[in-house]
Structure 1
């Protein structure tokens, strides 16, 4: 009886590990560039970040390289931690 319980637990652990691996493989790639947005109805952009920057807040949207360059060239502030303008 205890052998059956151990077998059930092992099967559950193996299933959980397989699901975690499947989730890691199918996770979408993080964006290359992020624009941090302000508060309010129109949400003006505040800063440009690299996609993996830990300083970027929760109000953000992904942008492509051309838009990030355009925003930086127009005078938008770059993050001092990830330095996307370098």
Structure 2
């Protein structure tokens, strides 16, 4: 019938036990992977929302340094979540600066801080050179 199987009963029994052990091992691995996938999916669904605002803290004193949007990737490792009112208070009292990347001052509609937190625009004038005027030919 099956020419590739051994002809005696003892070896066939040994093969059956060996395959049963492998099937049990494979079934355990499948169950483990299904459990892990279910746990990862549960973690993805129940992951807490990022905070709306974050204050970055000094490593030395723990004092607030900068305010960031909750999804800003430029925050340091020492931080804590704050609410909208505290973010506005920290920015308007001048205790901390707004992050130059996520611009929480703009998101919080604090218009007058834009000049303090962002570096000034560079002038085209250079020391020892006259200010550029007119066309591109005169801008050498």
TM-score category of the 2 structures, normalised to the smaller one: 0.7 to 0.9
Render the CA deviation track for 1:45-83: whole Å, top value 9, x for unaligned: 110001111111111111000110111111221111111
| SS of equivalent residue, structure 1 residue 35 | strand
Unpaired runs of 5+ residues, structure 1, are none
- Secondary structure in structure 2 of the residue aligned to 1:19: helix
Residue 24 (structure 1) shift: 1.8
Q: What root-mean-square deviation, in Å, do the aligned CA atoms of Structure 1 and Structure 2 show?
A: 1.4
Structure holding more strand per residue: 1
- How much has 1:39 moved relative to structure 2? 2.7
- Residue of structure 2 in register with 1:15 after alignment: 35
Cα shift at 1:36: 0.5
- When normalised by structure 1's length, the TM-score is 0.87
User: Structure 1 segments of 4 or more deviating over 4 A?
Assistant: none
State the Cα distance separating 1:6 from its structure 2 match. Answer: 2.1
Q: Specify the structure having the higher radius of gyration (Cα).
A: 2
What is residue 111 of structure 2 aligned with on the other side? Answer: none
Aligned length in residues: 85
Deviation at 1:29, TM superposition (A): 1.4
